[in-house]
Structures are given as C-alpha cells and as structure tokens.
Amino acid sequence: MAEITMVEAVTQALAYEMQQDKDVVLMGEDIGLNGGVFRATDGLYKRFGAERVIDTPLAETMIAGLAIGMAAQGLKPVVEFQFMGFIYPALDQLINHAARLRNRTRGRLTCPMVARAPFGGGIHAPEHHSESTEALFAHIPGLKVVIPSSPARAYGLLLAAIRDPDPVIFLEPKRIYRLVKQDVPDDGKALPLEKCFVLREGSDVTLISWGASMHETLQAADQLAEQGIHADVIDVASIKPLDIDTIVASVAKTGRAVIVHEAARTGGVGAEIASLLNEHCLLSLLAPVQRVTGFDTVMPYLKLEKKYLPSVNRIIEGVMKTMEFA
Amino acid sequence: MSRIAEFSIEYQQCLAATGELVTPLPAFATQAGALIELYEWMVLLRVFDAKAINLQRTGKMGTYPSSLGQEGVFVGIGDAMQATDVFVPYYRDSGVLLQRGATISQLLQYWGGDERGSDFKECPEDFPICVPIATQFLHAAGIATAIKYRHQKRAVVVTGGDGSSSKGDFYEALNVAGEWQLPVVFIINNNQWAISVPRTAQTHCKTIAQKAIAAGIPGIQVDGNDAIAMRDAVDQALQRARNGEGPTLIEAVTYRLCDHTTADDATRYVPKEQIEKAWQEEPIRRLRQYLEQHHQWDEKKEQQLQQRCQEQVNAAVEEYIATPLQPVSSIFDYMYETLPKSLQQQRQAAEQEGR
C-alpha cells in the first residue's frame, strides 16, 4: 500500500465518505477544479461532480450560513475555509446558529456540518495565514473542535467528524500537511472524537500537545529519553470535548505535566488543561504544570515566525523546569 | 458612452387605503371565503399581539415584538405558502408562524423564555425565530440549496426587517441565490423603522427591492398594507421558485404602528403626524372596508370574530401559564446528540443544585 501524507489522508477520508453517503457535500472557495489551495479536495470535483464539490462565491459568512441551512435539511456539508485567518466573518453564524440549532429547537433541527480549515504557522505564508485560534471555538458550547496530527488520525478523525450529528470544527495543521507519510488503509474506520491518543509511554513527565506542535513535542521526547527522562506523550486531538481522564491518568503516574501549543498563551486550551489537572490530580503533581506556547503577540510575519513557534529546545526547557522539583 | 443595461422596479397594489380596488382582484381572491380568511387571520394576529404585550407588561412574559400595522405582510406570506415549503422567520413573524401551524401558546412560550416554544410540530422543517439580524437569509439559501440538490419541487420563504437589508448576510444570500438560481423568496418587511433609525437613514437606495438588481434576480415592491397584493406577490414568487425559475426579493412597504419591542418607547423618535397618517393606511381597516363595501362583512360578523379570537387567545394564555417548567437538566440535554462526559458531570451538579 502506498504511504500518504496528511493532506492526502484528508482527501481520502472525504472521498470515502462521499462514496458512501450521498448527503455529504463539499463547499468552499477554490475547492472544485483547483482542488483547494492545499489540494485537500484534489480530484474530487472530477470524481463527484460540481453538484457535490461546490465552488462558492467568495464570502465566508455565506459558506457557514449555507451549511447550517443544508445541515438542517439533513445534508452533511463539509465546508472548507481557505485559512483559519479567514474564518472570523463566519463566527456569527457558527456561534449564534450552528452551535445552538439543536438546543434552540429542542432537538427538532440539528446541524451535522464540518468546518475544515488549515491552521497554524510555519509555512512562510503571508499575513493572516498562520493563525491558531482553536481556543475561540473550544470556548463555544455546542461546537466540537478536532485537530489531527498524523495522516492516520486525519483520516479517522475526519470520518468521525463527518459522521458526527453535531457541528465540528476540524482544524488541519498545514505545517505538517506533507511532513510525514504513513500507510493509511482506506477502510472507512473512524477514530473516536472524545479521546486523546497516547503516542509514547514514559514514567517521568507527561507531554501534552496537539496539531503541528506534536512534531516538536515528539522530538523533544526523543532527546529527553537520551538523557534518561522518559515522557508520556499525549496527542489531545479532540480539544473539545476534552478527554481529561487520559491526561489525568498519565499525570497521576508521572507527576509532571508540560503542555505545548502554538496558540497564544492567555486563555489558550493549555490553561484549561492545567486548570483541570489542578482539579483532578493536584496532589499527584510533583511540580507546577508548565506551558510552552506561542506568545501573547500578533503572529509575526514569516521572517520571525520560527521564533514564535514552540521549539524543541523550549519544550525541553519546560520539562527541565518540572524536573527541578523533587 | 453607451447604455449597456437598464433596470426598473415594479410596484404592486390591489387595494387602495380607502378599500377601493386599483387593479382587478387576482384569481385566488375571487374564490369564496378567500379574503375573509385573510381578514380573520389579521384580526387574530392583532388580538394575539395585544395580549402578548399585556402579558409582558404584567410580568408574565419576556420582551415581545408586536406586528401591529404589519399584519397584511405576514398574513399574505402565510396564506401563499404550502405546507411543504419551508419558512425561515426573523422575529416579528407571529402571524406566519401561526398560519404554519405553530400554536399561540407555543409563541408565548418562546417569548416567555421557554425553548420548547420553537419545537414546531406542524411545520417541523421551519426554522426557529431568528434574533441576530440578517443571519437567517443565509440559512434560507442553504435550505434552498438542499432542496435544489434533491430536485424537490418546493421553496423557502425568509423574512427580515428593513434594517436587515443593510447587512452583509443579506447581500451574500441574495448573491448566491441568484448565482445558483435557488428556490427562495426573500421578503423585507419595510416597516420604516429599525428600532429608532428610520428607513431613510438606512440606505440611499430609493427602494430596497432594487437591491435585487445587483444580485441579478427579480425585485418587486409591494404595498404591504394590502394583504391581497402581498398574498399574490408571494404566491407568484413561490411558483417561480418551485418551478426552478430562481429567487425573488419582495419589499413589503408598511408601517410599524407599535414600539420596536416591549423594551422600546417609540414616542421618543416617531413623529406623531407620521403615525397618525399611517393609521389611515393600515391593513385591517383597509380590507374590512373592501369587504363591507362588497357586502361580505358587517358589524355583527365583526363582533363574533372579535369574540372568537379573544376566546382562542385566552385559552392559549391559560395553557401557557399552566405549562410546567422544564427540568434544569434540559439545559444540557439538547447541546449535543450524545452528552460529553464533562457535561454529564455539570448536568449532575446542576440537578443537585436544584434540590
């Protein structure tokens, strides 16, 4: 079997589900013949036609609003926002309507839509193209927020997101769209949405991350292992709802936690996880929970973007701070 | 320079303010009882509105937006729609919702702060009342997209106020509906006021109907105080939509004879002369005059109708008042199809708090 990249796994999942379910319809800007600016819908227009792979007029609020109406009719729209930085005009629709249609109608109307968006920095893109504001969505009751960090998880989680009966924000870390290749069987098997993935097991510290930062976090774990520090490494994957049980179980074992995310620190999802660790396993902690995150600054333009992103060194420093305690 | 395109906007009216016909009756209106039915719906709506305001004033209900003076717009819409069409309301559409099959007590429930008020049983595909301005136009276009995708012969009607026609969602919805030739009818209830801002401060456009021109779709202005013209215009637009002939924008020109909502005091900004003049043109009086002139209505029938409406509304009020509260757990139970574990814990905590 050929190995595929994460963006190809996204395409594979979309194609699988479109083949299975005629209610799945794709919408977005440049997703048709062009296959999307990152080629996530490559070939789908030719295979499924213009009725199901729909190039929309250029208006993000409209994309979200249309999807809500379509989803209420029982379709399963999977819409692409070209970059996370362009999703903000759609917030009104996503927050005021997608997230609460089920609740407002006591379950009479629902909104089984997926909003996909490439997110995060590190690809030398122009201004506004490197956002990671997942916490905005995680804060909204009624939404689910999912972030894959490997081809296999992109495939399984996207299938789960499309099949989910509620709106899912599916954020694709574009920096690792083509970083690694994996065998991803096209077997239609979804992964669970309310579940963290333990990627590495160790007893000294728990490293918690998601998205593109997962890559540096794993590298840091490798280097720490060489120094005799063995880390549990957790890919949160579902930012909302959060599988805190898996994280707590790990931290109860290791006594140390370092949370790594690319997004700005204040009000980030890391703060929520740290708070939950305080509530659930404070007495197991041997050291204060550390956060290694982006800064509370505007995402710098491409020349300095690497200085903003959590590096392997910064992650190791974070771990070392926790090791200073007994 | 040469002229490369020309546009015009038509105005539709059947009944003048005096109740005189200015154009021949459309076919539907010549059927026995058709106009009386329109009239009775308008009267019921007016009785309902007055009661709703009264309930709010006496602390038995939350904020409420009345339709006073605009009954012709809403009753015309409700009468023209078929059961299989889908209605996407804004927040002043009590009349249409009642015609669609929502119950009076349900509407009271919604404005009284109970989510069950949007669980319409008789029109299960219709959207709930939409408070954020203009967002609903896009939902309607989305529903119409699904209808078109499935090759169904039905259509969507969506409403908004004159203020909503200034928002991007409105333009984006018109644009995509035109581009994709969607089966949707956009209706602007131009009641001259967006809370305190007059229609003249909303746009330099002479009509709101002409905003259709930029989207490449038909736009028409209708006398919204003329329920006959409204009913006919919506019906024609719906027929085109159902036949795959695309969307229409209808601007219904009327006047808000009430406050924006019960939280508003329109005497602060509405010129007195303007409202006095508007009372001479309002829809119920107009149709009653026509019916009386044509011996279809009299004072006795009026008294009987008023009494029936009062009884119907009073019974619904009793039902609304007697409705037990939802359990506190209900605030969790419709967030997701399956409640996430973290929310299960919060749900349990909320239930314990309630004890």
d(CA B170, CA B187): 11
Q: Considering only CB atoms, which chain A residues are within 8 Å of B113?
A: none
Nearest CB among B145, B334, B341 relative to A66 is that of: B145
pLDDT tens readout for residues A177-222 = 999 999 999 999 999 999 999 999 999 999 999 999 999 999 999 9
A193 touches chain B (CB under 8 A): no
Interface contact A106-B343, CB threshold 8 A: no
Q: pLDDT tens-digit profile of B255-306? A: 999 999 999 999 999 999 999 999 999 999 999 999 999 999 999 999 999 9
Which of B145, B175, B342 lies nearest to residue A69, judging by beta carbons? B145
List of chain B residues whose C-beta atoms are within 8 Å of the C-beta of residue A241: 340-343
Place of tokens 């038995």: B60
Chain B partners within 8 Å of A62 (Cβ): 138, 141, 169, 172-173, 175-176
What's at A196, amino acid-wise? C
CA A56 to chain centre: 24
For A46-72, the pLDDT digits (tens) are: 999 999 999 999 999 999 999 999 999
Point out the residue among B144, B146, B176 whose CB comes nearest to the CB of A62: B176
Enumerate the residues of chain B whose CB falls inside 8 A of the CB of residue A144: 336
pLDDT tens digit at each of 355 positions of chain B: 999 999 999 999 999 999 999 999 999 999 999 999 999 999 999 999 999 999 999 999 999 999 999 999 999 999 999 999 999 999 999 999 999 999 999 999 999 999 999 999 999 999 999 999 999 999 999 999 999 999 999 999 999 999 999 999 999 999 999 999 999 999 999 999 999 999 999 999 999 999 999 999 999 999 999 999 999 999 999 999 999 999 999 999 999 999 999 999 999 999 999 999 999 999 999 999 999 999 999 999 999 999 999 999 999 999 999 999 999 999 999 999 999 998 999 999 999 986 6
Q: Does B15 touch chain A (CB under 8 A)?
A: no
Q: Does any CB of chain A come closer than 8 Å to the CB of residue B334?
A: yes
What domains can be seen in chain A, in order of their start residue?
3-183 (3.40.50.970), 197-323 (3.40.50.920)
CA distance B337 to chain A (A): 7
Tell me, yes or no, if A138 comes closer than 8 A to chain B by beta carbon. Answer: no
Enumerate the residues of chain B whose CB falls inside 8 A of the CB of residue A242.
342
Chain A 230-269, CB below 8 Å of chain B: which residues? 241-242, 244-245
Give B-chain residues touching A194 at CB under 8 angstroms.
Answer: 340-341
C-beta atoms of A68 and B120 within 8 A: no
CA A119 to chain CA centroid, Å, is 8
Q: Answer whether A241 sits within 8 Å of B115, measured CB to CB.
A: no
B85 touches chain A (CB under 8 A): no
Question: Which pLDDT does position A2 carry in this prediction?
Answer: 84
Interface test with A, best of B326, B336, B338 (most A CBs within 10 A): B336
- The shortest CB-CB distance from A108 to any of B124, B147, B169 is to B124
**Catalytic residue at B150?**
no
Give pLDDT tens digits for B321-337.
Answer: 999 999 999 999 999 99
CB-CB: which of B118, B137, B176 is closest to A105?
Answer: B118
CB pairs under 8 A between A and B: 131
Active site residues of A: 129
Q: Which residues in chain B are contacts of A280 at CB distance < 8 A?
A: none
Query: What pLDDT was estimated at residue B353?
Result: 83
Angle between helices B71-80 and B227-242 in degrees, nearest 10: 40
List the domains of chain B with CATH numbers.
10-324 (3.40.50.970), 327-355 (no CATH)
ipTM for this model: 0.96
